[in-house]
Amino acid sequence: MGLITYDQFLFVFNGGEVGGRRVEDNFNWEEQMISKIKQWVLTKGFTIEEAFKCFDQDFDGIVSKDDLKRSLAILLHVP
């Protein structure tokens, strides 16, 4: 469906650990974007909640696919 909740956002931000093991996938682009988001959050000095609100462009409590696309373009200058 292309949506991510605050809890899922926090899960990924915290390294995506389940039972002490990091969740891995083979999507290098995703990993690069997560790293960029983390660096952006740290650079701005935002809390994870503040960062989530920046990515939830329509303020509905969910980062939709469109929210993420807009946020990556606007906040991180990803084409």
Between 13 and 46, the more confident residue is 46
pLDDT digits (tens, 9 = 90+) for 19-29: 555 655 545 77
Q: What is the pTM of this model?
A: 0.64
Q: What is the pLDDT of residue 72?
A: 92
53 vs 28: CA distance, rounded Å: 25
Decide if 6 contacts 64 (C-beta within 8 A). no
Q: What is the pLDDT of residue 11?
A: 76
pLDDT digits (tens, 9 = 90+) for 32-74: 888 999 999 999 999 999 999 999 999 999 999 899 999 999 9
